[in-house]
A and B are shown apart, each in its own frame.
Chain A
Amino acid sequence: MSNQILERPRSLTGKQFHYCPGCHHGIIHRLIAETIDEFDLREKTIVVQPVGCAVYIYEYFDTDVSEAAHGRAPAVATAIKRVSKDKFVLTYQGDGDLAAIGTAEIVHAAARGENICVFFVNNAIYGMTGGQMAPTTLPGMKTATTPFGRDVKKQGYPIRVSEMLAPFDGVAYVERVMVSSSKHVIKAKNAVRKAFKYQLQEKGFSLVEFLSACPTGWGMPPVEAAKWVEENMAKQFPLGVYKEVGLDD
């Protein structure tokens, strides 16, 4: 007799992810879907989709999904949540989406304290369009548009999103995590759970930032890419809780 110890979350369709080998988008999808199941929210959830590699999230999540134009997910989510307060609303956004074209939308959704969860995937690059510089690209890092490495004198400094948003009064919870090893995955899962609780308890805006590998964009084998997240990205973007206003018991 065998016991099944792991199964596909009900909130995923079962369609195979298209992500490159070693990409962390898939793990992050799974953590969110599992948490939707745990809180029994599948029939209440509305996912707002980004552009970027996760534009296909509508194929994977067996929940209602709205598309959003590049960077506009926080505005779309704001309206969905405001007209349907009993629903559970989350956005899933990359760094190009959230920290470049959509900077205004995320800053103002945070400042207004919109009662939504934002899952922010920081892979320091634009994956989908072929590995160009992102606002989160590390100093010295080579990308398709910084072929000589990001020169902060020319291209400026990376934006630290968690640190930027945490001070807003409307923000209830911000944590930066990574999913590069099982130990970190467990921590990341707890952060996702907490973000969910913040929305369920109507505490305001919550954001979980995932440091995420893009082996293709970085031109690295998967194992090396996971190591690079831990050794380089986590230095530029330190892990931890940046804001936590507290949950009810």
Chain B
Amino acid sequence: MRVLMKGTEAMAEAAIRAGCYAYFGYPITPQTELIHYMSRRMPEVKGVFLQAESEVSVINMVYGAAAAGVRVMTSSSSPGVSLMQEGISYLVGAQLPAVLINVMRGGPGLGNIQPSQSDYFQSTKGGGHGDYKLITFAPSSVSEAASLVYGAFDIAEKYRHPVMILADGALGQIMEPVSLPEHGLSKPSVKSWALTGAKGRSANKVLSFYLDPKTLEEHNLILQEKFKNVNEEIKFEEDIFDDMDVLAVAYGTVARILRSAVQRLRNEGKKIGFFRPISLWPFPEDALKSASRKSKLVFVSEMSYGQMLEDVRRVVPDDIEVKFYGRAGGVVPSPNELYLKLKSLLEGGM
């Protein structure tokens, strides 16, 4: 059944249907409806809801619940996610699964409450201390946001690693029809390592503390090996053909806007393709590389001054030019704005 829902609420309901048993949160715009929704729904499903005193506490509560072996989620927006970085590093170090939602807003600092994509680096390149990457998915519609949240619990457990859904203020706020997954299609795995009391087994320890350098190096190598396997989770959307003048690349809300600009140019007979990374880490490197080889030029647009751009540049062969157009501070580029940019590119301008 399809229902009309706000992005934040669809993500909340998807989590509950995936078997999320505990939610910890702290209010911040533009994701407050998510915490409101959870405060009503978690008691109905006999789960745990708690509003903590800070995001620092929130992420450590997520850590505790994950260590105890239950499905746990939190959500926040940029400044709140900054406060969570310590705990995210600890989740990774202790190999704990959890689902984290960042509904990005404009920064740096207090910034504003408008949509933004300027936390790409923070999410995909570490953010906290230590050698790690965070599995990151970027939806571009309400219905995709819900399905990514739903699947994120399985992926988090599969790798014993936190998964972030990197949305933005626009996606959090728009209402769209969604068909939500049924309850319990995905089943929480049994966690032999979880802290449930040492009954009939030796004591379990959830740690990231390895004082001996050799042992810590070994632990890091195990993590690195795991990160390689995460390539199985690569997701992207593409609409390409063999002889393109321009390949337009974006993620999240900007991808949605860019797609309509691309469509308009296609209708005008222009040779333009479209590529949208859905998993930001792991980044769809091979797919983007081979798509870009079929084009004369690659165009990237983001609501930031070029963070994903660095990954695109890394992947696209050197002889293909990469052009960029970014807006920031909460300004969302309009379909016409992107249409005009692309059009002038196609005509040899920009």
Contact = CB atoms under 8 A, between A and B. Distances in A.
Interface of A: 42-46, 48, 55, 58, 61-69, 72, 75-80, 82-84, 87-88, 104-105, 107-108
Contacts of A63: 197-198, 203
B265 interface: no
A76 B63 contact: yes
B197 A65 contact: no
Interface string B199-220: 1100111111100000000000
A106 to B, nearest CB: 11
A94 to B, nearest CB: 15
Interface string B165-188: 000000000000000000000000
A104 B87 CA distance: 15
A58 to B, nearest CB: 5
Interface in B35-69: 48, 50, 52-54, 56-58, 60-65, 67-68
Contacts of B209: 55, 58, 67
Contacts of A46: 68, 195, 197
B128 to A, nearest CB: 10
Q: Which of B57, B87, B208 neighbours the largest number of chain A CB atoms within 10 Å of its CB?
A: B57
A75 B48 contact: no
Top-7 shortest CB links A-B:
A79-B64, A75-B60, A76-B64, A79-B61, A43-B199, A72-B60, A108-B53
A78 B203 contact: no
B57 A75 contact: yes
Contact of A104 (B21, B54, B67): B54
A187 to B, nearest CB: 29
Given A46-B195, A64-B198, A79 B203 contact: no
Nearest to A86: B197
Contacts, number: 126
B63 to A, nearest CB: 6
B207 A79 contact: no
Given A66-B63, A75-B58, 16 more contacts: A44-B199, A46-B195, A62-B203, A63-B203, A64-B203, A64-B204, A66-B205, A67-B90, A67-B209, A72-B60, A72-B87, A75-B60, A76-B60, A82-B50, A83-B22, A84-B68
A72 B72 CA distance: 18
B86 A66 contact: no
Contacts of B58: 75
Interface in B76-104: 86-87, 90, 94
Contact of A43 (B48, B67, B197, B208): B197
A67 B61 contact: no
Given A69-B87, A83-B22, A78 B208 contact: no
B258 interface: no
A76 B205 CA distance: 14
B65 A83 contact: yes
Contact of A108 (B57, B197, B203): B57
A79 B63 contact: yes
A104 B204 contact: no
Contacts of A80: 64-65, 67-68, 195
A79 B21 contact: no
Contact of A78 (B61, B196, B197): B61
A247 to B, nearest CB: 23
Interface residues of B, number: 38
A43 to B, nearest CB: 4
Contacts of B56: 72, 75, 104-105
Contacts of A79: 22, 24, 48, 50, 60-65, 68, 72
A72 B54 CA distance: 11
Contact of A69 (B53, B90, B195): B90
A61 B65 CA distance: 21
Contacts of A48: 64
B254 interface: no
Contacts of A55: 209
Given A62-B203, A67-B94, A67-B209, A78 B64 contact: yes
Contacts of A66: 63-64, 67, 195, 205-206
B70 interface: yes
A50 to B, nearest CB: 11
B230 to A, nearest CB: 24
B157 to A, nearest CB: 16
Given A46-B68, A75-B64, A79-B65, A105 B198 contact: no
Q: Which of A76, A77, A108 neighbours the largest number of chain B CB atoms within 10 Å of its CB?
A: A76
Contacts of B24: 79
Contacts of B48: 79, 82-83
B124 to A, nearest CB: 22
Contacts of B61: 75-76, 78-79
Contacts of A42: 198
A65 B196 CA distance: 10
A46 B90 CA distance: 18
Contacts of A104: 53-54, 56-57
Q: Which of B54, B60, B198 neighbours the largest number of chain A CB atoms within 10 Å of its CB?
A: B60
B196 A87 contact: yes
A77 B206 CA distance: 13
Contact of A76 (B54, B67, B86, B204): B67
